[in-house]
Copies of this chain bind each other. A is one copy, B any other.
Amino acid sequence: MKVPSQMSFDVEAIRAQFPILRTLVHGRVPLHYLDNAATAQVPEAVLDAVRAHDELRRANVKRGVHALAEAATDAYANARTKVAQYVNAREDREVIFTSGTTGAINLVAHAFGATLKAGDEIVLSGLEHHSNLVPWQLLRERTGVKLRFLGVTEEGRIDTGDLEELVSERCKLISVTHVSNVTGAITDVAAVVRAARTVGARVLLDGAQRASHGPVDVQALGVDFYALSSHKMFGPSGVGALWGRAEILAALPPFLGGGEMIRTVTLEKSTWADIPARFEAGTPPITQAVGMGAAVDWLAQVDAAAAAAHTGHLADRILHGLRAIGGGNRRARVIGPQTMERRFPVIAFAVDGAHPHDICQILDSHGVALRGGHHCAQPFHESRGLAGTTRASLALYNNAADVDAFLSGLDDALSKLT
């Protein structure tokens, strides 16, 4: 990602749309929210869409012929269209609403996993979020598939140099993160897809961290499955999506059983509905999907390039600021790429002698919201000999004041702690 020196991005106009950014932390200091990789905040447009749905169109979807049911069904279908367009799906039915990224990956681990057998291989990486690791470990227990792990480069990127060695004819799936929630690194997806294609394996991308940074093009990426969470892309919690190639999804058995995912049910035997219904058992998160659709609408009207330039510029200041922290055991190490080349503004760092939770706690008293710990990426942290890191992650509504508060707060923390 290039960072132009000039920016034409009205961050204050964006901020004005997020009510929570006007709250005071501990009733005292302005909020500097730098925990966006955990959950992003919600703009008024989404809050309004959520409330309007429940006030005007609330009903269960499908099968209902009354006016509210038709309106709710339409709204739910429109939300699917919006998400489909956001990821550039070929067809709406390629989008399945789930409880989130974790729900989406578990769906694939069960439905696609059911087509695998002992000895088949799945290639992951040492940089994965637990949500893209544990479901596969559980699948291994169920079926005896073998898991193999791409390494992580010194810089904190998935080492695609390992692909040739690890991806064999036995490999049925490569499942890796699109963007790391620790190092911010963007995975070389083209290399992954190339390796998968040579052996006919499928590719799943964990898009949880990517989806908040503007539209995704699953066709251009050339992958087979893509998982995302609404709450990380300015939408409601409680919903996310799995995109999958129609022909692949259509060939998979169902995962969860319940209402609406069937064609016919008898006590002896049931048959399954077509996609996407087959994978949406029970009443879906209707209002939340509508809210996710509103979030996607909201994101679509943002100039993604300008937003990236804006957050990239702020992230650059953080990277510089961390490097400038000075001397002795007060040195801060950025765990991830040291520049904003091919990475997103998720910045984890470690300071010898200062525990991440102490840093976060002191920064909190400055109004700065950070996250400390292993960020659900324990294997990566262990591999670096770290119990945890402190992470600052930016969204397009962050501004220079947020970076200033972070840097001066960190100075205060380190003067206390080291």
Q: Which residues of A contact B (CB under 8 A)?
A: 19-20, 23, 25-26, 31, 33, 35, 38-39, 41-42, 47, 50-51, 54-56, 58-60, 63-69, 99-103, 105-106, 109, 126, 129-131, 133-138, 147, 149, 229, 231, 236-239, 254, 256-262, 264-267, 269-270, 281-288, 357, 360-361, 363-364, 368-373, 376, 378-379, 382
A267's partner among B38, B102, B379 (CB-CB below 8 A) is: B379
Are B41 and A265 neighbours in the complex by a CB distance under 8 Å?
A: no
Question: Once the chains are docked, how many angstroms separate the CA of A51 from the CA of B20?
Answer: 11
Are B137 and A20 neighbours in the complex by a CB distance under 8 Å?
A: no
For A130, list chain B residues within 8 Å (CB): 257-259, 262, 265, 270
Sampled A-B contacts (18; CB under 8 Å):
A20-B55, A20-B56, A23-B55, A23-B56, A25-B67, A35-B68, A38-B59, A41-B58, A59-B369, A64-B369, A69-B371, A99-B103, A100-B283, A101-B282, A102-B283, A130-B259, A237-B287, A285-B285
For A99, list chain B residues within 8 Å (CB): 99, 103, 238, 282, 285
For A287, list chain B residues within 8 Å (CB): 236-238
- The smallest C-beta distance from A337 to any residue of chain B, in angstroms, reads 22
A67's partner among B19, B238, B369 (CB-CB below 8 A) is: B369
Q: Name the residue in A25, A134, A229 with the highest tally of chain B Cβ atoms < 10 Å from its Cβ.
A: A134
Are B364 and A258 neighbours in the complex by a CB distance under 8 Å?
A: no
A131's partner among B100, B126, B257, B269 (CB-CB below 8 A) is: B257
- The smallest C-beta distance from A194 to any residue of chain B, in angstroms, reads 24
A256's partner among B135, B236, B237 (CB-CB below 8 A) is: B135
Known: A237-B284, A266-B379. 13 other contacts (CB 8 A): A33-B68, A59-B369, A69-B369, A99-B238, A102-B283, A131-B258, A131-B282, A134-B258, A135-B258, A137-B269, A137-B270, A238-B284, A238-B285
Q: Name the residue in A31, A60, A67 with the highest tally of chain B Cβ atoms < 10 Å from its Cβ.
A: A67
From known contacts A38-B60, A51-B51, infer whether A282 and B364 are also in contact, taking CB-CB under 8 Å.
no
A270's partner among B39, B134, B373 (CB-CB below 8 A) is: B134
A283's partner among B39, B47, B264 (CB-CB below 8 A) is: B39
For A363, list chain B residues within 8 Å (CB): 66
Which 8 residue pairs spanning A and B have beta carbons closest together? Answer: A102-B282, A134-B257, A238-B285, A238-B238, A102-B258, A131-B258, A38-B60, A66-B369
A237's partner among B31, B47, B258, B285 (CB-CB below 8 A) is: B285
